[in-house]
Amino acid sequence: MLRYIANRVFWFIPTTIVLVALTFVILKFTPGTGVVSEGTQTITRDQIERLEENYGLNDPLYRQFTTYLGKVVTGDFGESFQFRPQTVNSIIGRTFPVSLRLGAYATLFAVALGMTLGTIAAVNQNRWPDYLSTTFSILFYSLPNFVMGFLLILLLAVFLPRRGVDLGFNVGGIERWQDWVLPTIALGAAPMATIARYTRSSVIEAIRSDYVRTARAKGVRERGVVIRHVLRNALIPVVTLVGPIFAAIGTGSFFVEEVFNIPGMGPYFVESIVAKDQPMVLAVVLIYGLFLALMNLVVDIVYGFIDPRIRY
């Protein structure tokens, strides 16, 4: 087990370096250095060159890369080209927590509601609660999150208020607590459907098992059977889904953040791509990549503890 963890952690390093190198090279091949945003007329050719010199953009590529890598290791991502004089660290420090908060809400929503719906569907197999929950699962599963987001906005923040039903939802922003509700649903709906599907089939399997029949036979009441015997066993495999889901949506989403005007990392990243703001793009790619790799690592290790059948 320890050896496995060490091995996985070790693999983490080359993956990260390759990730950064790839982004770095691709960005360097992009025409234009992005030091000055296009359309800025007030700056002379001479000044641009001096700026580029300052940022080390005239050094050979390998030198630029090693310099950058050296800085990154000490946690310094440099200054943003686009939002100068703000540093990348300060922008990320401000926006990352917002994205993470949205991601955490969405994950909680997906897990709580998904398990509940899946269990209700399984216990009432082939009756209307089952069909209802199945229909919603398919709907939520197939709609992209930004489509979901706009449908929610149109329904709850535009059309219903026009009919006089104002539930207090806004078109965007994060000023009030209600503002978090719709983005959370939009981001969490698809993973919620996934969890509901898994929970349903897992619970159905457990219901038909021998130990449940035994429990019923010895006179345990239905509620007790479901909670103590069925769910306890059925939810273990479902729990393992939480990790990958958090890895996927834990950092929010460009699109949901864009849809709801949430000042997370997403909108900044899109803007940096358009403006060729290399320090920003590299930092965001690195953070997303590291987050994903780290979560996968944690998931793999946790599996080993939850399910004793897995041994490395």
Residue 77 vs 269, nearer CB to another protein: 269
Residue 248 vs 301, nearer CB to another protein: 248
Q: Is 244 in the site for another protein (CB under 8 A)?
A: yes
Count of other CB atoms within 10 angstroms of residue 65: 17
Contact map string, positions 26 to 65, toward another protein, x by CB under 8 A: xx-xx-----------------------------------
Q: Output the six-digit token pair for 188.
A: 């969490």
Eight-state DSSP code of residue 252: -
Q: Output the six-digit token pair for 187.
A: 């981001």
Residue that has been written with the tokens 């920003």 in this structure: 280
Q: Which of 43, 274, 306, 310 binds another protein (CB under 8 A)?
A: 274
Eight-state DSSP code of residue 86: S
281 in Cβ contact with 78 (< 8 Å): no
C-alpha triplet 259, 78, 61: angle, nearest 5°: 105
Q: How far is the CB of 18 from another protein (least distance, A)?
A: 5
Q: Which of 88, 134, 169, 174 binds another protein (CB under 8 A)?
A: 134
Q: Is 281 in the site for another protein (CB under 8 A)?
A: yes
Residue 162 CA: distances (Å) to CA of 149, 153, 183, 210: 19, 13, 21, 55
23 in Cβ contact with 284 (< 8 Å): no
Q: How far is the CB of 293 from another protein (least distance, A)?
A: 5
The letter for the amino acid at 240 is T
> How far is it, in rounded angstroms, from Cα 275 to Cα 282?
13
Q: Which of 245, 262, 280, 283 binds another protein (CB under 8 A)?
A: 245
Q: Which of 95, 114, 200, 215 binds another protein (CB under 8 A)?
A: 200
Considering Cα of 292, then 272, then 259, then 184, what sign does the dihedral take?
A: positive
Can you state the angle between helices 88-123 and 265-275, rounded to 10 degrees? 130
Q: Is 120 in the site for another protein (CB under 8 A)?
A: no
Q: Is 233 in the site for another protein (CB under 8 A)?
A: no
> How far is it, in rounded angstroms, from Cα 229 to Cα 205?
12
Q: Which of 80, 95, 99, 194 binds another protein (CB under 8 A)?
A: 194
Q: Is 297 in the site for another protein (CB under 8 A)?
A: no
In terms of residues, how long is the chain? 312
153 in Cβ contact with 259 (< 8 Å): yes
Q: Output the six-digit token pair for 156.
A: 């709850």
Q: Which of 92, 111, 153, 156 binds another protein (CB under 8 A)?
A: 153
Residue 220 vs 240, nearer CB to another protein: 240
Q: Is 231 in the site for another protein (CB under 8 A)?
A: no
- The residues of the shown chain that bind another protein, judged by CB under 8 A, are 15, 18-19, 22-23, 26-27, 29-30, 125-126, 134, 137-139, 141-147, 150-151, 153-154, 157-159, 171-172, 190-191, 194, 197-198, 200-202, 204-205, 237, 241, 244-245, 248-249, 253-255, 258-259, 261, 269-270, 273-274, 276, 281, 284-285, 288-289, 292-293, 296
